[in-house]
Amino acid sequence: MSKELIDLVQNLGQPRVLVVGDVMMDRYVWGDAERISQEAPVILLRADRREERLGGASSVATMLRALGAKVQLAGIVGNDHDAGRVRQMLTDLSIDHEAVITDVARPSTVKERYVGRAQHRHPQQMIRVDYEDRRDISEQICKQIMLVVQSHLKKSDIVLISDYDKGVCTPALLSAVISAARARGIKVVADPIRGRDYRKYHGCSAITPNRLEAGLATNRTLNEMREVWEAAAQLQENLDLEAAVITLDKDGMAMKHRDGRAKHFPTRPRHVYDITGAGDMVMSVLAMALAAGADYEQAIPLANIAGGLEVEKIGVGTVTREEILCDLMTPGHATVAPNKVLSLEGTQQELDYRRRLGQRVVFTNGCFDVLHAGHVQYLQEARAQGDLLVVGLNSDASVRALKGKTRPVQPLAARSLVLAAMQAVDYVTIFEETTPMHLIQAIRPDVLVKGADYSKDEVVGAQFVEAYGGRVHLATLHHGHSTTNLIDRMRAA
């Protein structure tokens, strides 16, 4: 199956995905929770940073863009400052938001979270404030959305419905979207709300409720697989679905197909850091695979893997094709946890969180073609310079450009796996250039490490790091260890 899934990822192309749902913004206010206010018995938060991310259906659109899809988003925003921010963020990500209609009768949906650090570390959410109007959109707004959706369907490969129960996914709108898509032979996949009445999803190709949602919708408690199959069959038949796909957290996913197939897709154990966004990721990858022509029996295992990678991240993060491929290429899918081989964007997200905990970031780089004792000692010394170590790893093409056409001996997947298995290494990220300057500028490490066979003036990025107060460390050179000599001896043996 791994070979099939690798081929599927490599052939996903750039499907055109139309996302219909509740456009939202997630805002975070970070600060130190230092003391109790003198005005009232409440914690006083001394705010020092504000962060904005796309949420809801717009978060799904973000995930799809990171996976390489061309995305069109349909929904509503208010006539306010937050709407402008949402539109700008969508534009920056090249997400088409022509079908995001301004509704002057309501505010843009915003979830604002206040996160306090105790003693400058250990952040905890203190309170969430929601700005929203959950009433159903008006008939006029519904018609405006459908007018643009109809034109977008002419160039869409699949439709996703991302329902957060904020008023957009009304029975009237979903009926119109599903009917128009079916008339064009376009699949529709929905991530439903938690509720007992799922009639508005009638006619979808598939829905992806979790265990609790599927139980509520079918008036069952899904503790055993027998109950899961009964719920899946009920949803499939009552809603005229191609497939009912129920996500079962650590137990994977279960599918009941119209043609009679009923199959359980287990998932391998993961180190769960945060389940936020896992359902959106499952739906996104399922849709990408279906749009590429895959059957549910291929698409669901791929969605399983992507959902697993998502729960290993802090907060809602994106997953790239490279991360999925790296996971698939891990022999026997052995767990390297938390998932250490990340895209540059994924690395930045992880480092952002770790820095909030007050941790110092160390960076080094290399080809690490055939790992030997000298490498091990070097990486251990590098890790000792801070709280976590990021290793920039040359791609195969980059190694060839530096070392010649006979190198690397070990392909990228093998080199990254060996590095990620080392206790001293926290994250591995790949770069295509012959120098890591782009990575260094993006990561901005507190400590830059290179071997003592270099002088500080020769270290790429040294001036850049020292300019903002970082430092350069030249690690001890352990003589008698050389990758080139080791390879020559192996070839001569």
DSSP assignment of 415-478? HHHHHHTSTT--EEEEE-SSS-HHHHHHH--SEEEEETTS-GGGSTTHHHHHHTT-EEEEEPP-
Sketch out the chain's domains with CATH numbers. Answer: 2-318 (3.40.1190.20), 344-492 (3.40.50.620)
Place of tokens 């080199």: 415
Two tokens at 220? 């069952």
- What percent of the chain has a predicted confidence (pLDDT) above 90? 50
- For the beta sheet containing 206-207, the strands, ordered from the edge strand earlier in sequence to the opposite edge, are 96-102, 70-77, 16-21, 158-162, 187-191, 206-207, 243-247, 253-257, 262-265
Tokens of 413: 């997947």
Confidence category of residue 329, pLDDT binned at 50, 70, 90: low
pLDDT at 334 over 50: no
**Strands, sheet with 388-394, edge to edge from the N-terminal-most edge strand:** 427-431, 388-394, 361-366, 447-451, 471-475
Q: Which of 173-187, 312-326, 476-490 has the lowest mean pLDDT?
A: 476-490
Which residues, at least 6 apart from 211, have a Cβ–Cβ distance to it below 8 Å?
222, 228, 246, 247, 248, 249
Of residues 283 and 1, more confidently modeled? 283
pLDDT given at position 159: 96
CA end-to-end distance (rounded Å), the chain = 37
Q: How many C-beta atoms lie closer than 10 Å to residue 315's C-beta?
A: 15
- Residues 350-372 have a mean pLDDT of 84
Q: Once rounded to an integer, what is the mean pLDDT over residues 56-66?
A: 92
pLDDT tens digits, residue range 407-460? Answer: 888 888 888 888 988 889 999 999 989 899 999 999 999 999 998 888 888 999
331 band by pLDDT with thresholds 50, 70 and 90? very low
Mean pLDDT of all residues in 467-490: 73
Ranking 48-52, 144-148, 181-185 by mean pLDDT, the lowest is 48-52
Tell me the pLDDT band of 31, cut-offs 50, 70 and 90: confident
Q: Which pTM was predicted?
A: 0.67
28 phi and psi angles, rounded to 5 deg: -120, 130
pLDDT of residue 488 exceeding 60: no
Are the CB atoms for 319 and 328 separated by under 8 Å?
A: no
Residue 54 has pLDDT above 60, yes or no: yes
Residue 479 has pLDDT above 70, yes or no: no
What integer is the mean pLDDT of 345-354?
Answer: 81
Q: Which residues are catalytic?
A: 280
Answer yes or no: is pLDDT of 14 > 70.
yes
Structure tokens at 65: 């863009």
Calculate mean pLDDT across residues 100-129.
87
> Which pLDDT band, with edges at 50, 70 and 90, does 315 fall under?
low
Task: Write the pLDDT tens digit of every residue in 250-296.
Answer: 788 899 999 999 989 887 655 444 345 577 888 899 999 999 888 89
